[in-house]
Amino acid sequence: MTRFAARALAVLAAAAAVSLPAVAAPVQTGHIEAELVARDAGVTPGGTVHVALRQKIQKGWHTYWRNSGDSGEATQISWTLPAGWTAGEIVWAPPSRQPTGPLMNYGYKGEVLLPVAITAPKSARPGDTITLKAAASFLVCEDICVPEDAVLTLDLPVVAAAPQPDARWGAAVAKALDAAPKPAGLTATFSKAQGGLKLAVTGAPLKGVDQSQAYFYPFKGTVIDHAKPQAIERGPEGLTLSLTPGYDFTQGTPPAALDGVLSVGGEAYELTAAEGPPPTGSSGLGAPPAKAPAPAAGASLGLALAFLYALLGGLVLNLMPCVFPILAMKATSLAGHAHEQAAARAQGLAFLAGVLATFLALAGVLIAIRAGGSAVGWGFQLQSPVVVAGLALLMLAVALNLSGLFEVGTSLQGVGTGLASKQGLAGAFFTGALAVVVAAPCTAPFMGPALGWALTQSAPVALAVFLGLGLGFAAPFTLAAFAPGLLAKLPKPGPWMETFKKLMAFPMYGAAAWLVWVLTVQAGEMGLARVLAAAVVLALAAWVLGLAQRRQATGGEPVTLAVTGAVLALGAFVLALVPAYSVATSGSAEAAPGSIPEAVYSPEAVAEARAAGKPVFVNFTAAWCVTCQVNEKVAFATAEAAQAFERTGAVYLKADWTRKDAVIAAELARHGRAGVPLYLVYGLKNPDPVILPQFLTPAMVAKALDKARSS
């Protein structure tokens, strides 16, 4: 061969090497098609080429980011390279949120490329082809999680000149590198305030972009509570995120800095936040906080529809069993004012004011508690044994008053002379407030979606929805007070009203007994004994106060007896508060088993039952939820329901929210609910549960289970 021919062949070989693509072989791991792909068709001696681990993930499944969130495990790569070759760290693609029950995880769906920089030694010889080998391990999850592995190889030529991009994968790897989060000159600080964390970020990339979906993904899994929403405050120069502290802040060692990725406006940026005051302009004064994304179940609701739902729910709430005792008080008041139209209207408006004030007050407390990071929902106050004990004693005091043991204000027989008095209006206001307190455990139709949506919105919007609920609840009584024709049909005041008043005491005794039963579920036998002792002391104080009032009426030592009665009554309430407080520290009692075998709810229990090929029925309930207890008797404690569970092999899980439970609260929120009851039925195939109505029958339960067995 001549020297010219040899040179020609060398040139041709070099040209071929430049255009020769990197060769890889895809591997099927079960739920992932994995392979190594390169940005360039070769690498020069001493040069660097980005080789990506490509994952094509089966539909409905996902893998995990470097911080997997509440559960899961990040993808890992172990490289086997020729001598002198080195591999860098994974360049992680921006993650997306992967909610799983009450947990929030971070990862990828569909297709994702994770590039790694591979550097060749200077001693690499052009014309050689080297083999890159990587052992990749994945945790891939749907409703269940499966660890999968793959050993992947890529043949890569060493070239003398700068290589061309790989014909097939070059553009895709380059796009993945461009999209990867990078520092962008953002200034960030974090601060602890009111039990939470404030992450404030400013910088040019945040100006003029949509910040409504901003989200912070921390690199470390223990610095925040991933499942909690991240409220957004927008400012002229940036934004502030409200985060819920994680283990490191609550029990461990607080970090000196928060590192992670900020996703905003369709871009992702790396940032490091040091502890300190917010940068200027991170959140504008008076700028409305951006709401977190609403759960899917309430995503279609806007303010107008949510307000309408709340209005209708408030109307229906008057028909719920928990409100029956207060309906008795309403009826007593209405009968006393039937033939004094001006006074009746004033009473109606006072009742309306009491309802609205109490609804908005409860809503404000609920919003404030949730903003502080606690997972609570409608009826939250009855998760406290202290509140339940106090309400039971209050209902008993109202019943004793209606029974005539003591008087508050004017008697019914003299009501005609004092209808418009301050005491009368105060009584109507109190009746409205008490009606809301007693109605709080109930969730009527239309209420659930409305309140679930409202609690994902800003405070003014949420309060507007609760205002609609209050208007609907107060409407029947208030409108009746403005209906002269209806009032004229009622009997005129007379001695019969005193009898009617005493009769109406018994629903209040029933309400007190129900609350005491709720307390037994929360605090057991000792809690029951203590609150009953407090009830006896309270009844004694009421009798002494009534005795003082009667002595005063007959002219006997009015001042001394009145003061004595008042002191004894105050002492009774103080004595009542002591056992009520001790109730809160008592252990909860075990619920009696029903005719259907049941287990305690947890997301793991749902996943385990579904993995075993069984339908799952989840009952979100509470002892203080009257609707729940009615369904327990009417729908579940029946032979038809028990036979349906046995026939279908369904697993019955009970999520008891009688006392606070963050896992249950998060699951309720995920389905757009702020309270109980909620009934979910999981089929064998469909990953999404079917939500049943709030009022159940045995036939509805059986039909849902039969359908779940085949879906």
Give alpha helix (H) positions in 554-661: 558-583, 603-611, 626-631, 639-648
Residue 10 has pLDDT above 50, yes or no: no
Check: CB of residue 179 under 8 Å from CB of residue 268: yes
Q: Given a cut of 50, is residue 12 above it in pLDDT?
A: no
pLDDT category, 704, cuts 50, 70, 90? Answer: very high
Burial 482-504 (b: 16+ CB within 10 A, else e): eeeeebeeeeebeeebeebbeeb
Please compute the mean of the pLDDT values over residues 597-617 and round it to a whole number: 90
Residue 121 in this model has a pLDDT that exceeds 50: yes
- Mean of pLDDT values over 8-16: 46
| Predicted local confidence at residue 571, as pLDDT | 56
- Residue 314 pLDDT class (50, 70, 90 cuts): confident
- What integer pLDDT is reported at residue 556 of this predicted model? 59
What is the distance, to the nearest Å, from the Cα of residue 189 to the centroid of all Cα atoms in its chain?
A: 27
Comparing C-alpha atoms, which of 71, 69, 87 is closest to residue 79?
87
Task: Label residue 99 left, alpha or beta by phi (over 0 means left) and psi (-120 to 50 means alpha).
Answer: beta
What is the spatial order of strands in the sheet that 23-24 belongs to? 23-24, 145-157, 129-141, 76-80
pLDDT band of residue 243 (cuts 50, 70, 90) is: very high
pLDDT of amino acid 1: 47
Residue-level pLDDT at 245: 92
Q: With bands split at pLDDT 50, 70 and 90, how would you rate the model's confidence at 28?
A: very high
Domains of the chain in start order, with CATH, are: 3-179 (2.60.40.10), 183-293 (2.60.40), 298-583 (no CATH), 599-709 (3.40.30.10)
Q: How many CB atoms lie within 10 A of CB 701?
A: 27
pLDDT at 572 over 60: no
Cis before residue 102, ω within 30 degrees of 0?
Answer: no
What one-letter code names the amino acid at 464?
A
- Where does the pLDDT of residue 459 fall: very low under 50, low under 70, confident under 90, or very high at 90 and above? confident
Q: Span 231-243, mean pLDDT? A: 84
The pLDDT of residue 379 is 55
Residue 231 bridge partners (DSSP): 242
Is it the case that residue 131 has pLDDT exceeding 70? yes
Q: Which amino acid is at 24?
A: A
SS3 call for 297: helix
Q: Name the more confident of 109 and 497.
A: 109
- pLDDT at position 418 is 34
